């Protein structure tokens, strides 16, 4: 089972969201812990993976050796890829 590791910025972005949205994202991340490659899609333009939760996106990196999912960014789909 993979473990979730949050970057400080990602945790801040997640905590700014509404409670209902935050719960949906958290639930989906828990599903990813068993088999991250089932839910996370490889990004084409840059390194990393994306998780789609409705209109929200989670940008993450997967370290197979350590069985860890590093959460890099959390945000709305229209501006998550800008930065």
* CATH of residue 30: 3.30.2310.20
- pLDDT per position as a tens digit, 20-50: 999 999 999 999 999 999 999 999 888 899 9
Mean pLDDT, the chain, integer: 94
**Is there a contact between 48 and 68 (Cβ–Cβ < 8 Å)?**
no
**Which domain range does residue 71 map to?**
3-76
Q: Is the pLDDT of residue 66 over 70?
A: yes
Q: Is the pLDDT of residue 83 over 70?
A: no
**Is there a contact between 44 and 64 (Cβ–Cβ < 8 Å)?**
no
Please tell me the pTM assigned to this model.
0.90
Report yes or no on 38 lying in a domain: yes
């Amino acid at each position: 089972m993979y473990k979730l590791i949050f970057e400080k910025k990602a945790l801040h972005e997640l905590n700014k969201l509404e409670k209902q949205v935050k719960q949906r994202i958290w639930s989906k991340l828990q599903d990813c812990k068993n088999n991250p490659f089932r839910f996370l899609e490889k990004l084409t333009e840059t390194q990393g993976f994306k998780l789609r939760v409705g209109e929200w996106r989670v940008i993450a990196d997967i370290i197979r050796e350590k069985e860890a999912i590093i959460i890099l960014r959390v945000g709305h789909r229209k501006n998550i890829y800008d930065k």
